[in-house]
Amino acid sequence: MLRQLFPIIFVFGVFFGACNQVSTDSESNTETPDDPDSEWLIPSDEIVDGGPGKDGIPSVDDPQFAPVSEINYIQDDRLVIGLKVGNEVRAYPHQILDWHEIINDEIGDTYFSVIYCPLTGTGIVLDRVIEDEVTEFGVSGLLFRNNLIAYDRKTDTHYSQMQLRGVKGPLKGETLDSSFSTVQTTWKTWKAMYPESKVVTKETGFGRFYNGYAYGESYLTDEDYILFPVKHENDRLPGKTVVHAFLPEDVTGNPGDELDVRVFAKNEMSEEISVLNEDYAGNHIVAAGSQTHGFVVSFRRELSDGTIPDFESIQDELPVIMTDAEGNKWNIFGEAISGPREGETLTPTKSYDGYWFAIADMFPNACVYPSTGCKGYVDR
């Protein structure tokens, strides 16, 4: 009984700690998932009040950066979300995102939010220009199937992070722009690939134990440590297996029931870099990853002239990960860095990493590679 109660006690301690450091108005910051006038696009009876209230988990709106060489708080096996915009490369550590969930940032005239849900392990980067106006995303304090519901501070539309769409408010049903080149990997791999990159520091303006884990280290691997009910269970993989999920369609209608998601398990990739050329649900994609280096990325294979090549892996040249029949070399962000197509960039898929239990719960049709029984699978 004590083991069952500990996660709830712990998470409330985290939430209340966040609330104590953020000035909130109890009336203006209270969400009511069962409000009959709210018109949720998702089942309102599955929306859970996580406890902290709106902005009780504070976003980081003025992130500070330092070069890799000056960062000493990240352990080699901890994860970061890497982003490349133009020539700028930045890393956003889970150790910051665990406690804040959202970092609002900009590079030049590109405005974006890094949004991470520690309960589902899902991290995405979204365009924060809403209706032609730069805004910020914040944490609503609500969850749907253990997953973060964010909101934008311009329209107050609420968004399912994993479904990548508005689920309540003026932009309900609108798909979010997640077309950024990103990768989630270990700090060890990241600093080896991009030693000159910038990294978010602990200077967030808030006092948190950034060397630790918001929900305890055991949350990453303990299959029984899930805070809120799981509606759709699937034992194809252990629940806390980290997978890379590819969403092949626009997330309209009811994607939780209809979307055919393709999943690549990180721990089922080879130790060396491997490349998988896939035709799935009408999409030509390539997934590349390595168990040793702790990453999986995926791109659409169609090139600018309509060519659909097959890719092959390249070893020991990170961040270069693959080549094609023309002799082009492509890096982990899908950029051709040499060859006749140098300067071209592959289109990122609509995808992200997360825990298998969460992917399977949000998308019951999710199918794990290499099963040929998946709906939409084409035998190559």
pLDDT tens-place string over residues 249-264: 767 666 666 788 999 9
Six token digits for residue 103:
């970092």
Q: Which helix (H) or strand (E) holds 283?
A: strand 283-290
In a domain, 217, yes or no: no
User: Is residue 161 domain-shared with residue 264, that is, in the same domain?
Assistant: no
If one counts the domains in the chain, the total is 2
DSSP label at residue 257: H
Measured CA distances, 261 to 40, 112, 215, 281, 375 (Å): 23, 25, 28, 9, 9
Is the CB of residue 194 less than 8 Å from the CB of residue 84?
Answer: no
Domain that holds residue 105: 2-200
User: Is residue 158 domain-shared with residue 248, that is, in the same domain?
Assistant: no
| Spatial separation of the C-alpha atoms in residues 97 and 115, rounded to whole Å | 8
Q: Write the CB contacts of 73 (distance below 8 Å, at least 6 apart in sequence).
A: 95, 202, 210, 211
Six token digits for residue 300:
């659409």
pLDDT of residue 166: 96
Q: Is 146 left (phi over 0), alpha (psi -120 to 50) or beta?
A: left
Is the CB of residue 136 less than 8 Å from the CB of residue 113?
Answer: yes
| Spatial separation of the C-alpha atoms in residues 187 and 193, rounded to whole Å | 10
pLDDT of residue 258: 74
User: Is residue 162 domain-shared with residue 239, that is, in the same domain?
Assistant: no
pLDDT of residue 14: 45
**Length, in residues, of the chain:** 380
Cα atoms in the Cβ-side hemisphere of radius 13 Å centred on 213: 16
Q: Which amino acid is at 97?
A: L
User: Is residue 327 domain-shared with residue 271, that is, in the same domain?
Assistant: yes
User: Is residue 296 domain-shared with residue 156, that is, in the same domain?
Assistant: no
User: Is residue 18 domain-shared with residue 153, that is, in the same domain?
Assistant: yes
Q: Which amino acid is at 122?
A: T
pLDDT of residue 153: 97
Measured CA distances, 225 to 60, 108, 146, 163, 228 (Å): 27, 41, 12, 23, 9
pLDDT of residue 376: 56
pLDDT of residue 10: 42
DSSP label at residue 179: -
pLDDT, one tens digit per residue, over 200-241 is 999 999 999 999 999 999 999 999 999 999 999 999 999 999
| Mean pLDDT of each 10-residue bin along the chain, 380 residues long | 36 40 36 58 94 95 98 97 97 98 98 98 97 97 98 97 96 93 97 98 96 95 96 94 89 71 93 94 92 96 94 98 97 98 96 97 91 60
pLDDT of residue 52: 87
Assessment of whether the complete model's pTM goes beyond 0.85 = yes
In a domain, 226, yes or no: no
pLDDT of residue 280: 84
In a domain, 110, yes or no: yes
Q: Whose CA is closest to 263, among 286, 283, 245?
A: 245
